[in-house]
Amino acid sequence: MVEQKKIIIDTDPGHDDAIAILLALASPELDVIGVTCVAGNVPLHLTARNALLVCELAGRPDVKVFSGCDRPMVRKLVTAEAIHGETGLDGPQWDPPTGQLQDQHAVDWLVETLLDAEDKEITLCPVGPLTNIAMALVREPKIASKVDQIVSMGGGYFVGGNITPAAEFNIFVDPHAADVVYRSGIPIVAMPLDVTHKALMTQDWIQTLEDLGTEVGRKSSQLLSFYNRFDLERYGMAGSPVHDPATIAYLIEPDLYTGKEVYVEVETRSSLTMGMTVVDYWGARRKEPNCLWVSKVNDEGFFQLMYDRLATL
């Protein structure tokens, strides 16, 4: 048995969030000790419901799912129904979840769990706006030393933004939370648009999931076919970037990825570039790096890994 890495997935499912959760639950290297939900792609009551649905789809109703912050720290919530549909997981037919959310608020659970942990025992994988993580850090700064690293999907530098010309959705929704996280001193691995746009999912690959003939394969394929349409129509890309599973793939097979240690700061004041991740790629400010900014991926290896793992569910 491989030694398992303890992770917490903080998420706003979301089609690509769903695939990230499935990938993690299919991977023996990872022990998902909890899933914390945040408002983002759709409002909180839907992201929490969707997280329950995805854990149940994976055959893991035992995974603890917590509902967290229903709005960003300072700004009004911005959602993404245009991409993820009204439910956040449009595409397949879903029966209501059979399980229940945990009673505790996600931020309380994060603080309690991290305080109880050894130094660097837990890895955080935020794949939505960073509100829950930042709120936990503000409530109890001592939790920072308990986190091994934060492997997060968010930001964009070389390819710009996707919700505004300058900002990627997760950072734009709660830039103040992202600012807290980037200043926390916890080692960060960023999976920005710069890398997720280099692994485009084709309809042929989606069909291979359908061909698995399993419930996970069928629902994943229906989810991704729905999700794929937006990028094909809007950007004219060959397929859509499936952003969030990059965080989980990095934890399983880091060699698939290449990045650079850099200093990143989040814009929280300008209305034009709100939520921009300002990456000092060439060290102009001579600051200590706070982040591994990932910008290259072995895309074939990434899709093979996802296929192999989803096939086991």
Per CB under 5 A, residues contacting Ca ion are 12, 14, 17, 127-128, 244
Which span sits near ligand BDR by CB under 6 A: 96-104, 144-152, 161-169, 291-299? 161-169
| Residue 169 binding ligand BDR, by CB under 6 A | yes
Output the smallest distance, CB 129 to ligand BDR, in A: 9
Nearest distance, CB of residue 304 and ligand BDR, angstroms: 22
Per the CB < 8 A criterion, the answer to whether 115 and 86 are in contact is: no
**Count of positions (residues) in the chain:** 313
Tell whether residue 280 is a contact of ligand BDR (CB under 6 A).
Answer: no
CB-CB neighbours of 141 under 10 Å: 11
**161 scored as a contact of ligand BDR (CB under 6 A):** no
Reported in sequence order, the residue ranges of 178-276 that DSSP labels E, i.e. its strands, are 188-191, 200-201, 240-241, 257-266
Considering beta carbons, is residue 131 or 146 the nearer one to Ca ion? 131
Q: How near is the Cβ of 80 to Ca ion at its closest, in Å?
A: 9
- Per the annotation, the verdict on 243 as an active-site residue is yes
Residue 207: count of CB within 10 angstroms of its CB: 11
If binding is defined by CB under 6 A, does position 80 make contact with ligand BDR?
Answer: yes
Q: What is the size of the binding site for ligand BDR (CB under 6 A)?
A: 15
Q: Output 123 or 247, the one with its CB closest to ligand BDR.
A: 247
Residue with smaller CB distance to ligand BDR, 145 or 164: 164
- Residue 227 or 303: the one with the smaller Cβ distance to ligand BDR is 227
Q: Is 174 in the site for ligand BDR (CB under 6 A)?
A: no
* Interaction mask 112-131, ligand BDR, x per CB under 6 A: ---------------xx---
Site string for ligand BDR, 214-243 (x = CB under 6 A): -----------------------------x
Name which of 14 and 259 has its Cβ closer to Ca ion: 14
Residue 180 binding partner per list ligand BDR, Ca ion, none, with a CB distance cut-off of 5 to 8 Å that depends on partner kind: none
Which residues lie below 8 Å from residue 307, measured CB to CB, with a gap of 6+? 205, 208, 209
Q: How many helices (H) does the chain have, and how many strands (E)?
A: 12, 11
Which residue stretch of 95-103, 167-175, 273-281, 304-312 sits at the interface with ligand BDR (rule: CB under 6 A)? 167-175
Residue 17 touching ligand BDR (CB under 6 A): yes
Query: What, of ligand BDR, Ca ion, none, does residue 259 touch, CB below 5 to 8 Å by kind?
Result: none
Catalytically active residues, by annotation:
243
Residues near ligand BDR (CB under 6 A): 14, 16-17, 41, 80, 83, 127-128, 153, 162, 168-170, 243-244
